[in-house]
Amino acid sequence: MAIPLETLRRPADFATLQRQGTIRAHPPVIVRTVRNELDRTRYAFSTGRRLGGAVVRNRVRRRLREIVRSLASRVAPGWDVLIVARPASVSASYAELRDVVVRLFGRAGILRPEGSGA
C-alpha cells in the first residue's frame, strides 16, 4: 500500500516557498525548500507544459511522487518542499531521477542518512 504524502495546497504556502525558499537545482529537477514550523513535511510537484502533453507530465509527476514516497522515512520533519520538473526529466530514467532527488534533498539538508530511525 502506498504511503500518502501530505501536499501543499494553500497559495500562501507557495508564496512563502517562492519568497523564502532555498533552491537546489540539477538539469532534470529543481528542489525548493523552506521550514514550515510543523511536525511534518509537505510536498508539491510542478510539471509545466514545457515538458510535453498531459500524458508526459503525468508520467513525470507519478515518478517524482513515487521517488519522494520511497524517501519519506528519511526526510526530516518540518519542511515544505516544491519539486519542479525540467524538460530533462522527461528523458531521464527512474534511477537517474531518484539519484538526482536524493542528491538535491541531501544538499538541501532535509535528508537523514540511510538507516537512521525516525
Q: Which three cell numbers stand for residue 19?
A: 519568497
Residue 51 structural domain: 36-108
Residue 74 maps to which CATH number?
3.30.230.10
Residue found under cell 538539469? 27
Q: What is the pTM of this model?
A: 0.91
Angstrom distance (rounded) from CA 25 to CA 46: 14
Nearest-10 crossing angle of helices 54-71, 94-108? 50
Number of domains in the chain: 1
Angstrom distance (rounded) from CA 78 to CA 33: 10
Which stretches of the chain are assigned E, i.e. beta strand? Answer: 22-26, 29-35, 42-47, 79-85
Residue 88 lies in a domain: yes
The tens-digit pLDDT sequence of the chain (118 residues) is 456 789 999 999 989 998 999 999 999 999 999 999 999 999 999 999 999 999 999 999 999 999 999 999 999 999 999 999 999 999 999 999 999 999 999 999 999 877 655 5
